[in-house]
Amino acid sequence: MKFTEEHEWLRPDGDIVIVGITEHASAQLGDVVFVDLPEVGDTVAKGDDCAVIESVKAASDILAPIDGEIVEINEALTDTPGMVNDDPMEGAWFFKMKPADPSQMDDFMSEAEYKDFI
């Protein structure tokens, strides 16, 4: 698992990367009330806005951590956005993507480095 400075996590699963937000980000946001996910088939570049998460405190953009194609979204978040607060590191993943360049994953922090960062 890798972590970004924007408090996203990336978990490789074969040739796919699963993306979500960290427990720290979830706690900072407060109660999540809405999640707008990208479309399956969207091609994104690292740093592109690709999802929006709204809480009682604020709205935040979720950035594409790497270049690639969105191959699956977590539709359960649309109906139950509070999952982001309940299970941010597992069940509340946002999307799965096929990386254009898997070596981009090398740029991110390990779990220990992320814990030091926060």
User: What digits encode the pLDDT tens for the residues 4-44?
Assistant: 999 999 999 999 999 999 999 999 999 999 999 999 999 99
Question: Is the confidence at residue 116, as pLDDT, over 90?
Answer: yes
**pLDDT tens digit sequence for 78-115:** 999 999 999 999 999 999 999 999 999 999 999 999 99
Whole-number pLDDT of residue 88: 93
Task: Tell me the two tokens of residue 61.
Answer: 């953009």
Give the whole-angstrom CA distance, residue 114 versus residue 118.
6
What's the Rg (C-alpha) of the chain?
A: 13
Give, in order, the Cα–Cα distances in Å from 104 to each of 17, 25, 76, 83, 101: 11, 22, 28, 28, 6
What domains does the chain contain, in order, with CATH numbers? Answer: 2-100 (2.40.50.100)
